[in-house]
């Protein structure tokens, strides 16, 4: 069924005032702010504005719950995480609908239903992981064991692009390892995360997972809070630096997944028709609002025009509209600040000689933060659209002729999250991928992630990794026992 904007089925409870959850109980806030649908501007609910006292109460609840939860047998924690995955499945359509209303992404395709399905899959995969004792030595001279123990209270700050999926990336490994959590969602997209934590609290003991929504000042207070033992953050490098600085006062452990300006390099041996779909969705998944999206595309001179033409062909078939419309493939940019940033970067590129192949001009007077799929050719380093992370539906396409020079250009950026090589020769592509300064590299694809493959950046794209055994271990401390 298609839900049209303004129809009975499409409406959220605009008057609903959501509550924080502290110690297993809803905690009403003294102040709320409206949350708007970025496609229409309509209010979909009111978020609670947590205070410093709320944060203190949440940290106290998490600390009180930690001794019992960390002592809970590993198998019991595993079953609890599997129960969370089951709750995600049971409430998938509810969560997806709420997510589309506040975030804007379509229900279909790589949108809200996909995100909730991914959250369920990652939760189940993380539940299946174990933290065994590692025996380093066992001989007549003695026994040496390496134990991994829960850290304590983990503070989580999540972004607005994948608010449910990333919340599960933060919460589930932490509780699987025996930690307790205080999470603060983005003020742009707090509602689905609050509902997620309500479902989690129906499974876990009180205080194991707490949520306090609020403004940016609350996040700063979390990073400096002496009762929080580790911070995990997904978002911009600029904010990551602030978190790192605040956390230094208490020497908190950190996992930071920060900004990316991922390069994709197309070698001259490819068939442009065969790779065009992969290139397009590598760049425009979630409307380009993805840390590890393809954000700089380098194409060999011999096939440059052909690749540009194929990308325009694909882009012309992609429908952009309200996420509640089942036919929409892409939705709006989530918020006005990001919309204005994308527009500013594209206008700068146009003013400096960039050739717009498609898009480039947002509709005037229309409701919502809709920006068209935009491809900009004939640009190079020194233009903001190339040098900076756009985090939206605009892709610069850069011409090159020398492979060695383009590898150097791809690495000439402060970020180092992901990168990709596109070639008919996969062995050659893998060898070149290893030369990219990034935490994850793909061959003939971009942005594909999976729960058993560690994910994280180098340079200013972050510290630490998520996913798999390595990501789970980031939620532990090491204790060596020698006997």
Residues 6 or more apart whose Cβ sits within 8 Å of residue 238:
none
- For residue 291, indicate whether it is catalytic: yes
Strand boundaries in 349-403, DSSP class E: 355-358, 374-377, 394-400
DSSP at 26: E
Please return the burial class of 8, using the count of CB atoms within 10 Å of its CB with bins 0-12, 13-18 and 19+: exposed
- For residue 308, indicate whether it is catalytic: no
Find the catalytic residue in 81, 168, 291, 308.
291
CA dihedral defined by 376, 381, 383, 385, rounded to 10 degrees? 50
Q: CA-to-CA distance for 222 and 217, rounded, in angstroms?
A: 9
For residues 439-455, one letter each, b for 16 or more C-beta atoms within 10 angstroms of the residue's C-beta and e for the rest, the string is bbbbbbebbebebeebb
Q: CA-to-CA distance for 330 and 109, rounded, in angstroms?
A: 9
Q: CA-to-CA distance for 285 and 19, rounded, in angstroms?
A: 32
Residues 6 or more apart whose Cβ sits within 8 Å of residue 42:
5, 6, 14, 36
CB 276 within 8 A of CB 252: no
Q: At what angle do helices 216-224 and 237-247 cross, to 10 degrees?
A: 40
Which tokens sit at 307?
């690749």
Find the catalytic residue in 42, 102, 115, 257.
257
SS3 287: helix
The residues assigned a catalytic role are 257, 291
């Amino acid at each position: 069924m298609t839900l049209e904007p303004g129809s009975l089925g499409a409406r959220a409870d605009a008057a609903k005032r959501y509550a924080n959850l502290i110690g297993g109980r809803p905690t009403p806030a003294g102040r709320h702010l409206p949350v708007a649908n970025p496609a229409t501007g309509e209010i979909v609910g009111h978020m609670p504005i947590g205070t410093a006292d709320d944060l203190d109460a949440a940290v106290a609840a998490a600390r009180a719950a930690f001794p019992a939860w960390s002592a809970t047998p590993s198998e019991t924690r595993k079953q609890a995480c599997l129960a969370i995955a089951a709750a995600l499945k049971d409430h998938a359509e509810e969560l997806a609908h709420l997510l589309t209303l506040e975030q804007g992404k379509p229900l279909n395709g790589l949108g809200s239903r996909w995100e909730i399905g991914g959250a369920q899959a990652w939760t189940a995969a993380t539940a299946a992981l174990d933290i065994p004792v590692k025996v380093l030595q066992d001989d007549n001279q003695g026994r040496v064991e390496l134990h991994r123990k829960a850290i304590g209270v983990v503070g989580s700050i999540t972004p607005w692009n994948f608010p449910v999926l990333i919340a599960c990336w933060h919460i589930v490994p932490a509780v699987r390892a025996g930690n307790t959590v205080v999470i603060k969602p983005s003020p742009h997209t707090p509602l689905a995360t609050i509902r997620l934590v309500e479902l989690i609290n129906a499974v876990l003991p009180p205080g194991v997972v707490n949520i306090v929504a609020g403004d940016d000042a609350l996040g700063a207070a979390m990073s400096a809070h002496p009762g929080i033992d580790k911070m995990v953050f997904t978002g911009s490098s600029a904010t990551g630096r602030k978190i790192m600085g605040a956390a230094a006062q208490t020497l908190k452990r950190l996992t930071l997944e920060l900004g990316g300006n991922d390069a994709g390099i197309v070698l001259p041996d490819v068939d442009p028709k065969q790779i065009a779909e992969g290139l397009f969705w590598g760049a425009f998944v979630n409307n380009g609002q993805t840390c590890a999206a393809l954000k700089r595309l380098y194409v060999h001179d011999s096939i440059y025009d052909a690749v540009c033409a194929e990308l325009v062909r694909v882009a012309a078939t992609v429908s952009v509209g309200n996420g509640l419309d089942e036919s929409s493939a892409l939705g709006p940019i989530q918020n006005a600040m990001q919309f204005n940033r994308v527009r500013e970067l594209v206008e700068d590129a146009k003013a400096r000689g960039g050739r717009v192949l498609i898009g480039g001009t947002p509709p005037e007077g229309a409701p919502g933060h809709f920006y068209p799929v935009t491809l900009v050719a004939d640009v190079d380093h020194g233009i903001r659209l190339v040098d900076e992370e756009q985090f939206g539906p605009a892709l610069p396409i850069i011409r090159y002729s020398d492979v060695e020079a383009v590898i150097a250009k791809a690495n000439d950026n402060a970020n180092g999250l992901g990168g990709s090589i596109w070639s008919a020769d996969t062995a050659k592509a893998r060898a070149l991928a290893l030369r990219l300064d990034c935490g994850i590299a793909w061959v003939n694809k971009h942005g594909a992630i999976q729960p058993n493959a560690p994910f994280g950046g180098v340079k200013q794209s972050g510290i630490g990794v998520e996913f798999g055994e390595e990501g789970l271990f980031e939620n532990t401390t090491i204790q060596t026992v020698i006997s």
